[in-house]
Structure 1
């Protein structure tokens, strides 16, 4: 749904289109601490999906709050929109 907070409803259409074309990605976190972010579509090549996953993983590790102690990401699971999740061994991620 269009939402002014996410930038999908705006009077500056040119800016919004340019941001999306530049690769703007929005993620959300639920109450349990799960991060929801798309990494690609079915039509993407395998290496592009892996590249997108690695980029998102690195970004999440960079935005770790300084006050957070211990293991920041305990589990990593990827899934399709309505499919079952597949666990990823986060120790093998670059």
Structure 2
């Protein structure tokens, strides 16, 4: 190879070593940093979702409460009719 070819190779290698590799390294470090942040935020969202799910698991008991309330209303109506009949019977 000629001396000019050696100079071209040397300049190309210098550009790669001094510019391209540090820029690529910097971009990779930023990507890793952003990936860690996304992982942390995802973990926080998961923990929040699990907490919400844990606290909303008791909503199933509302159905039981409504059933009991319906029974109480029915019994109250029966008591009302009974007391009305008793009040009429005393009059």
Instruction: Report the TM range for the smaller structure's normalisation.
Output: under 0.3
Q: Which has the higher strand share?
A: 1
TM-score calculated relative to the size of structure 2: 0.24
Q: Which has the larger radius of gyration?
A: 2
